């Protein structure tokens, strides 16, 4: 009788992160909201190839050009396109024309020319730009704003710019600014809160008094004053939102977590083994103190988007002609008949903030320590 050795495979234990991720995926509303919002945000970086007044490809007199790629990824690609004179577009709507070519009219001109013309262009799916001011001829000799029609599916604003294009680009700008604000707010909050909670003592007392005084600084007035001297771009406005209070809430949460965790046995063991304060703070304590930080990230994104829309509505946000939801709402407030100027950005805000809230609820349930702790 021969004894056959059988190999027993022990089931691989899941990490706490894997447990939380699997639990998050079970919350279908949050999981699908994350997929949908992430897909739309990544797709927004390709907006110059989908929503733009420049063609993706132009074939002219044997040469091939890619004008739309000049706007891709913020214009960092070394792509240039020719001016109107190069394409022979010296007139536009009966008037002399110079500078950038009007590609929509140029395409019509090429189509109307006699046979034998091999010039062609491939326009984006929606051939309008968020900062382009349409001519009265294109608007059917109507005054602006114009209501939604077959040409501009969501109408135009009071300056003759396409609303759909401005909403699409405004979505990318809003999410990008919110992510920048949240990243630096959480980073500063973790560093400051971790130091206060770990070391305590006089450092904690004096720093807390400073934070309490700083938190009473009137946010809106400070922004109004600073905007008078510096015209904010996206990154500057994001840093302004971070400095003027975005990091304070995270600091309080992280400080409390560090105070609780530093009395644990694993911290005492790490000190007995000669681990440095930096290693204890950020390698041992930080992973156990991140739960409230991660849980509040989606709701911080919601707050950042709302702050941007509010500042743009009041005229203290991003500088014109940057696409902005708040600026569209402000234009629509002057006349209720121009409903598309208010409804379009409000619907986009409702969709964006609702999906982010669903994601936040899913993260909160997935990171609930009562169900998913290191002891399970």
**Which domains, ranges and CATH numbers included, belong to the chain?**
53-123 (no CATH), 165-366 (1.10.3720.10)
Q: What's the pLDDT band for 11 if we cut at 50, 70, 90?
A: low
- What per-residue confidence (pLDDT) applies to 116? 54
3-state helix, strand, coil in the chain (%, to 5): 60, 5, 35
* pLDDT digit string, tens, across residues 233-288: 899 999 988 988 789 989 999 999 999 998 889 999 999 999 999 999 988 899 88
- What per-residue confidence (pLDDT) applies to 5? 46
Q: Is 92 helix (H, G, I), strand (E, B) or coil?
A: strand
Q: How many other CB atoms are found less than 10 A from the CB of residue 241?
A: 25
- What per-residue confidence (pLDDT) applies to 131? 93
Place of tokens 């009071």: 158
- Residue 101 CA to residue 161 CA, distance in Å, equals 17
Beta bridge partners of 60: 63
* pLDDT digit string, tens, across residues 146-175: 999 988 999 999 999 999 999 999 999 999
* pLDDT digit string, tens, across residues 49-91: 999 999 999 988 888 888 898 888 776 767 667 788 888 787 7
- What per-residue confidence (pLDDT) applies to 371? 60
Report whether the peptide linkage leading into residue 145 is cis, meaning its omega lies within 30 degrees of zero. yes
With 0-12 / 13-18 / 19 or more C-beta atoms within 10 angstroms meaning exposed / middle / buried, residue 7 is exposed
With 0-12 / 13-18 / 19 or more C-beta atoms within 10 angstroms meaning exposed / middle / buried, residue 75 is exposed
* pLDDT digit string, tens, across residues 332-366: 988 888 899 999 999 999 999 999 999 999 998 88
Spatial contact of 192 and 207, defined as CB atoms under 8 Å apart: yes
- What per-residue confidence (pLDDT) applies to 115? 53
Q: Is the pLDDT of residue 10 over 80?
A: no
Q: What's the pLDDT band for 6 if we cut at 50, 70, 90?
A: very low
Which of 254, 227, 248, 368 shows the shortest CA–CA distance to 300? Answer: 248
* pLDDT digit string, tens, across residues 176-235: 999 999 999 999 999 999 999 999 999 999 999 999 998 888 887 888 788 878 888 899
Q: Is the pLDDT of residue 38 over 50?
A: yes
- What per-residue confidence (pLDDT) applies to 21? 87
pTM of the model: 0.88
* pLDDT digit string, tens, across residues 290-338: 888 888 899 999 999 999 999 999 888 898 889 999 999 999 988 888 8
59's enclosing H/E stretch is strand 57-60
78's enclosing H/E stretch is none
- What per-residue confidence (pLDDT) applies to 216? 86
- Residue 254 CA to residue 261 CA, distance in Å, equals 10
């Amino acid at each position: 009788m021969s004894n056959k050795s059988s190999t027993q495979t022990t089931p691989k234990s899941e990490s706490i992160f894997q447990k939380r991720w699997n639990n998050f995926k079970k919350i279908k509303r949050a999981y699908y909201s994350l997929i949908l919002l992430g897909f739309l945000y990544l797709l927004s970086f390709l907006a110059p190839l989908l929503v733009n007044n420049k063609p993706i490809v132009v074939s002219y007199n044997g040469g091939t050009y890619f004008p739309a790629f000049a706007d891709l990824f913020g214009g960092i690609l070394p792509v240039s396109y020719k001016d109107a004179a190069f394409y022979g577009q010296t007139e536009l709507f009966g008037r002399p024309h110079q500078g950038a070519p009007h590609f929509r009219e140029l395409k019509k001109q090429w189509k109307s020319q006699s046979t034998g013309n091999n010039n062609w262009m491939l326009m984006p799916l929606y051939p309008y730009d968020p900062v382009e001011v349409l001519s009265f001829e294109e608007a059917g000799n109507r005054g602006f704003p114009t209501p939604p029609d077959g040409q501009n599916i969501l109408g135009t604003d009071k300056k003759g710019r396409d609303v759909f294009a401005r909403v699409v680009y405004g979505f990318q700008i809003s999410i990008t600014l919110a992510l920048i604000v949240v990243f630096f707010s959480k980073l500063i909050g973790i560093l400051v809160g971790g130091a206060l909670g770990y070391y305590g003592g006089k450092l904690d007392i004096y720093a807390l008094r400073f934070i309490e005084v700083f938190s009473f600084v009137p946010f809106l007035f400070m922004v109004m004053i600073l905007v008078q001297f510096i015209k904010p771009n996206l990154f500057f406005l994001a840093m302004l939102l971070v400095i003027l209070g975005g990091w304070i809430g995270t600091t309080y949460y992280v400080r409390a977590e560090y105070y609780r965790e530093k009395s644990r046995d694993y911290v005492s063991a790490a000190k007995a083994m000669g681990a440095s304060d930096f290693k204890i703070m950020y390698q041992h304590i930080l992973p156990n103190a991140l739960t409230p930080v991660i849980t509040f990230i989606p709701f911080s994104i919601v707050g950042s988007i709302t702050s941007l829309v509010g500042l743009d509505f009041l005229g203290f946000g991003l500088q014109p002609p940057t696409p902005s939801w708040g600026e569209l709402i402000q234009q629509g407030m002057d006349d209720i008949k121009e409903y598309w100027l208010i409804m379009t950005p409000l619907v986009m805000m409702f969709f964006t903030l609702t999906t982010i809230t669903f994601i936040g609820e899913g993260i909160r349930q997935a990171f609930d320590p009562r169900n998913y702790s290191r002891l399970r």
